[in-house]
Amino acid sequence: MHRPNLPRLVATFATLLSTGTQTADAQVLEGFSLFTHAGVGYVVDAPSQLNGIGGFVFGPWLDGWGVYLDAKRTHESRRNESGFIDNITVAEAETEFRDRGMGADHHWTGVNAAVVRVVSGGLAVYGGAGYAKKTAFRRYYDETQTRGAFGTYWIEDPMASGTRLNVLAGAFFRASRRLVLQLGLEGAPRGASVGAYLTQPFAW
C-alpha cells in the first residue's frame, strides 16, 4: 500500500496557505478602504430597464464617501412597433371604434444619483433618489383591420403616463482589482439593480 509523503504534503499545504495569505493581503491593500476607486459600467433595473450605464467614485480621497450616477431605460418602446398609431386616443379606440383591448405595456427612462459609503475593503453601500418617466401604451384589435398591422395596433395612454420619484439603495462588491459588482433595489420602476463596473484604483 502506497503511503503518502507527509513532508511533501506539509510543504504543499504551507505553499498554498502562503499563497492564499499573500492574495488576501494584496486584496486588502488594494481595497476600497485604502484606494479610491473610479468606475464605469453597465447597470440594469430588472425587469423593466435593461439598458443602462453607471459610474462612481469613492474611497479615501473623499474620506470614505463617494457619489454614484446612472441612467437607464427600457430596451424597446412600443412607438417602434409597426402597428403604432399616434393620432388615436384611448377614448376613441374604446368608445368611437369599440376596438377590443389586448393588453398594456410601458416604457421607462430614468436618471439617479446616490451617496456611497465605504464599509470595508470589499464592500461599499449606497442610497439615493432619482427621476423616472413612465410612458404607458395600450394595445387594441380592430376587427375591420383598417387600423394598425393586420388590425392590431398600439397607442399611447397619457392618463397612465407620468413622472415618478425613484428611491434606490444597494451595495458595491469588490470582485477583483478592476471589477466591481453591484446589487440593489429600486422603487420606480420596482426592480433589482444589477451592475458590473471596470474600475481604476487610485492612491489618493
User: Is the pLDDT at 164 greater than 90, yes or no?
Assistant: yes
Q: Is 4 domain-assigned? A: no
User: Is the pLDDT at 155 greater than 50, yes or no?
Assistant: yes
Tell me the C-alpha distance between 55 and 64, whole Å. Answer: 17
User: Is the pLDDT at 152 greater than 60, yes or no?
Assistant: yes
Tell me the C-alpha distance between 98 and 6, whole Å. Answer: 86
Instruction: Give me the DSSP letters along the chain.
Output: -PPP-HHHHHHHHHHHHHHHHHHHHHHHHTSTTTSEEEEEEEEEEETTB-EEEEEEEEEGGGTTEEEEEEEEE-S--GGGSTTB-SS--HHIIIIIS-PEEEEEEEEEEEEEEEEEEEEETTEEEEEEEEEEEEEEEEEEE-TT--STBTTEEEEE-GGG-EEEEEEEEEEEEE-SSSEEEEEEEEETTEEEEEEEEEEEEE--
User: Is the pLDDT at 19 greater than 50, yes or no?
Assistant: no
Q: Is 119 domain-assigned? A: yes
Q: Is 95 domain-assigned? A: yes
Q: Is 18 domain-assigned? A: no
Cell (9 digits) for 165: 420619484
pLDDT for position 203: 84
Q: Is 158 domain-assigned? A: yes
Lowest mean pLDDT among 12-16, 70-74, 156-160: 12-16
User: Is the pLDDT at 181 greater than 60, yes or no?
Assistant: yes
192: containing domain: 31-202
pTM, entire model: 0.81
% pLDDT > 70, the chain: 85
pLDDT for position 195: 98
CATH number, domain at 137? 2.40.160
Q: How many domains does the chain have?
A: 1
Q: Is 39 domain-assigned? A: yes
Q: What is the pLDDT of residues 62-82, one digit of tens each?
A: 999 999 999 999 988 899 888
Q: Is 53 domain-assigned? A: yes
User: Is the pLDDT at 103 greater than 50, yes or no?
Assistant: yes
Tell me the C-alpha distance between 8 and 10, whole Å. Answer: 5
Q: What is the pLDDT of residues 28-50, one digit of tens each?
A: 446 999 999 999 999 999 999 99
Q: What is the pLDDT of residues 189-204, one digit of tens each?
A: 999 999 999 999 998 6
Q: Is 7 domain-assigned? A: no
Q: Do the bridges between strand 123-141 and strand 51-59 make them parallel or antiparallel, or are there none, so unpaired?
A: unpaired
User: Is the pLDDT at 109 greater than 50, yes or no?
Assistant: yes
